[in-house]
């Protein structure tokens, strides 16, 4: 019997479940779900005052050949007069012999011009492209008749929908991704429909720090994952009318899929944030292989009726 290489082990683990059929694929794995809401909830881009530029790179299970590699780029901006936001996101994912690309355009409408609360709804649409390169298989036999060595590729339409409510202290989020896969049979090229629901409490009033804690539920088919997180951001007093400014943050996330993340963020300036996250999995066989994630976020202030109000509040992400 020929042996499987590590790449094939990863490929099989991702594409097969406990029943003997190929299952649809999962959404990308990311550590910073709270900051990265735009990747699964288009309603979250309806943020007043700024043009947001966001990117992160996720390197999973370092030291394992063929382990997941993810990059994510997002741009969004809000028009105060039209209560609308437009955004663009590009997500790429590579694991073993499988590579995906998911570009999406997003639109969000903010149903309120109130300063103390907001309700927004959003829709994103694009394509989901997945390719399987048989040439990357590493079989013991030079020519294995059971392996398809050619490149197989699929391009399908894709869409996400989401809703978000915010006030001064709470963020409630509800969304569903990959709507075109709802009710369809699982296959290798289909990304399964996911449902996300989350609730976060944020305290932005103290002079020396801000913090938020929250819980997210992720559902795919009959799989349910819970994820709890807590972050605290420390500030310093500027002595200016604009008030204190956040300078760095620490945080942690724990998921019932048996991993924990530790995050360290630095606010290089009032509008530029960089963060590093380290994930430690407790799953057997991968506990020695850590996961690294780097996030860059930049915002460009825009003039609006809320400009002075939000910037005086002294916190980064509303």
- Domains of the chain and CATH, by start: 6-313 (2.40.160.40)
Residues 6 or more apart whose Cβ sits within 8 Å of residue 293 = 30, 31, 32, 56, 57, 58, 59, 261, 276, 277, 278, 279
pLDDT of residue 17: 34
Residue 99 and residue 70: Cα distance in Å, rounded? 10
> Model's pTM, two decimal places?
0.81
Residue 81 and residue 83: Cα distance in Å, rounded? 6
Q: Quickly list DSSP for 165-184.
A: EEESSEEEEEEEE-GGGTTP
Residues 6 or more apart whose Cβ sits within 8 Å of residue 18 = none
> Which of the two residues, 8 and 201, has the higher pLDDT score?
201
Give the lowest-confidence range in 90-104, 178-192, 205-219, 222-236. Answer: 178-192
Residue 66 and residue 44: Cα distance in Å, rounded? 32
Which tokens is 221 given? 């088919």
Res. 279: pLDDT tops 70: yes
- The answer to whether 85 touches 45, Cβ cutoff 8 Å, is yes
pLDDT tens for 30-55 read: 777 778 888 899 999 988 878 899 99
CA angle 261, 26, 251 (to 5 degrees): 15
Residue 90 and residue 304: Cα distance in Å, rounded? 28
pLDDT bracket for residue 5 (50, 70, 90): very low
**Which of 188, 263, 258, 196 has its CA nearest to residue 233?**
263
> Which of the two residues, 12 and 112, has the higher pLDDT score?
112
Per-residue DSSP letter, 317: -
Which tokens is 10 given? 């990863």
Residue 106 and residue 113: Cα distance in Å, rounded? 20
CA angle 201, 50, 103 (to 5 degrees): 90
Max mean pLDDT range (219-228, 241-250, 279-288): 219-228
Which tokens is 197 given? 């629901």
Residue 54 and residue 47: Cα distance in Å, rounded? 13
Res. 196: pLDDT tops 70: yes
pLDDT bracket for residue 20 (50, 70, 90): very low
- The answer to whether 318 touches 166, Cβ cutoff 8 Å, is yes
Residue 249 and residue 195: Cα distance in Å, rounded? 29
> Which of the two residues, 222 and 288, has the higher pLDDT score?
222
Give the residue ranges of DSSP H helices in the chain: 6-15, 307-313
> Which of the two residues, 173 and 140, has the higher pLDDT score?
173
Q: Quickly list DSSP for 40-64.
A: T-GGGG--TTEEEEEEEEEE-STTS
- Region 24-29: mean pLDDT is 68
Q: Considering the chain, what is the average pLDDT of its residues?
A: 80
Give the lowest-confidence range in 127-141, 251-265, 280-294. Answer: 127-141
């Amino acid at each position: 019997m020929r042996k499987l290489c590590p790449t094939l082990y990863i490929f099989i683990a991702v594409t097969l479940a406990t029943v003997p059929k190929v299952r649809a694929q999962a959404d990308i794995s990311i550590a910073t779900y709270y900051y990265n809401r735009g990747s699964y909830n288009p309603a979250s881009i309806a943020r007043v005052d700024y043009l947001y530029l966001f990117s992160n790179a996720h390197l999973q299970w370092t030291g394992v050949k063929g382990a997941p590699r993810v990059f994510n780029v997002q741009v969004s901006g809000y028009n105060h007069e039209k209560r609308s936001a437009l955004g663009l996101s590009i997500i790429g994912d590579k694991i073993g012999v499988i590579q995906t690309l998911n570009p999406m355009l997003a639109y969000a409408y903010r149903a309120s011009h109130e300063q103390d609360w907001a309700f927004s709804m959003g829709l994103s649409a694009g394509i989901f492209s997945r390719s399987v390169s048989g040439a990357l298989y590493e079989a013991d036999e030079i020519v294995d008749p059971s392996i398809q060595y050619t490149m197989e590729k699929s391009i399908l339409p894709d869409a996400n929908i989401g809703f978000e409510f915010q006030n001064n202290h709470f963020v409630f989020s509800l969304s569903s991704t990959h709507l075109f896969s709802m009710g369809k049979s699982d296959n290798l090229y289909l990304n399964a429909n996911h449902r996300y629901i989350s609730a976060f409490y944020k305290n932005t009033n103290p002079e020396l720090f801000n913090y938020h804690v929250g819980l997210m539920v992720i559902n795919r088919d009959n799989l349910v994952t819970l994820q709890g997180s807590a972050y605290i951001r420390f500030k310093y007093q500027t002595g200016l009318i604009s008030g204190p400014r956040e300078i760095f943050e620490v945080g942690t996330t724990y998921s019932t899929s048996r991993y924990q993340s530790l995050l360290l963020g630095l606010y290089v300036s009032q509008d530029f944030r960089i963060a590093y996250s380290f994930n430690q999995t407790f799953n057997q066989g991968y506990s020695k292989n850590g996961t690294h994630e780097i996030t860059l976020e930049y915002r460009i202030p825009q003039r609006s009726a809320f400009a002075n109000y939000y910037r005086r509040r002294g916190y980064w992400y509303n």
